[in-house]
A and B are shown apart, each in its own frame.
Chain A
Amino acid sequence: MRILVAVKQVIGRDAPLRVNAARTWVEENDATFEINEPDAYALEAALQLKEKHGGEVAVLCAGPERAAKTIREALAKGADRAVHIELPEAAALDALGTASLLARAAEAEKPDLVLTGLQSDDLGLGQTGVVMAERMGLPHATIIMEIDFRGAAVRVKRELEGGWFQYVEMPVPAVLTIQSGIAKLRYATLMGIKKARSKEIKTLAAADLGIPSHPAAVIERLYMPPRARQAQIVEGTPQEKAARLVDKLRTEARVL
Chain B
Amino acid sequence: MAGFRGVDYMMIDSLFSEEELMVRQTARAFVEDNVVPVIRGCYRDGVFPSHLIRQMGELGFFGANLEGYGCAGMSNVEYGLIMQELERGDSGVRSFVSVQGALVMYPILTYGSEEQKQRWLPKLASGEAIGCFGLTEPGFGSNPGGMLTTARSDGGDWVLNGEKTWITNGSAADLAVVFARGDGRVRGFLVEKGTKGYSSSDIHGKLSMRASVTSSLSFQDCRVPAENALPGAVGLKTALSCLTQARYGIGWGAIGAAMDCYETARQYALVRKQFNDRPIASHQLVQEKLAWMITEITKAQLLAVQVGRIKDGQRAEAAHISMLKRNNVAIALECARLSRDLLGANGIMDEYPVMRHLANLETVKTYEGTDHIHALIIGERVTGIPAYC
Contact = CB atoms under 8 A, between A and B. Distances in A.
Contacts of B73: 194
A214 interface: no
Interface string A8-28: 000000100000000000000
Contact of A190 (B5, B23, B29): B23
Interface string B1-43: 0100100000000000011001101100110000000000000
Interface in B48-74: 58-61, 64, 72-74
A189 interface: yes
B58 A188 contact: no
Nearest to B22: A193
Contacts of B23: 190, 193
A14 B58 CA distance: 29
Contacts of A108: none
Interface residues of A, number: 13
A190 B63 CA distance: 11
Nearest to A187: B26
A82 interface: no
A76 B2 CA distance: 25
A73 interface: yes
A188 B22 CA distance: 8
Interface string A55-95: 00000000000000100110010000000000000000000
A196 B119 CA distance: 28
Q: Chain A binding site: helix, strand, loop or mixed by DSSP?
A: helix
A188 B26 contact: yes
Interface in A152-211: 187-191, 193-194, 197
A190 B18 contact: no
A189 B64 CA distance: 11
The contact size tier of chain B is 20 to 34
Contacts of B19: 193, 197
A78 to B, nearest CB: 12
A190 B2 contact: no
A190 B30 contact: no
A69 B19 CA distance: 9
Q: Which of A73, A188, A193 has the most CB of B within 10 A?
A: A193
A14 B59 CA distance: 26
B193 to A, nearest CB: 27
Nearest to A184: B33
Most buried by B among A73, A194, A197: A194
A14 B5 contact: yes
Interface in A99-156: none
B325 to A, nearest CB: 24
A187 B60 contact: no
A187 B5 contact: no
Contacts of B26: 187-190, 193
B383 to A, nearest CB: 41
A187 B59 contact: yes
A172 B58 CA distance: 34
A190 B23 CA distance: 6
Nearest to B78: A190
B18 A72 contact: yes
A81 to B, nearest CB: 18
B18 A189 contact: no
Contact of B74 (A69, A187, A188, A190): A190
5 contacts: A14-B2, A189-B58, A190-B59, A190-B64, A194-B73
Interface of B: 2, 5, 18-19, 22-23, 25-26, 29-30, 58-61, 64, 72-74, 78, 82
Given A14-B5, A69-B18, 10 more contacts: A14-B2, A72-B18, A73-B22, A187-B26, A189-B59, A189-B72, A190-B64, A190-B72, A191-B72, A193-B22
User: 7 tightest A-B contacts by CB?
Assistant: A190-B60, A190-B72, A187-B26, A189-B59, A191-B60, A189-B60, A188-B26
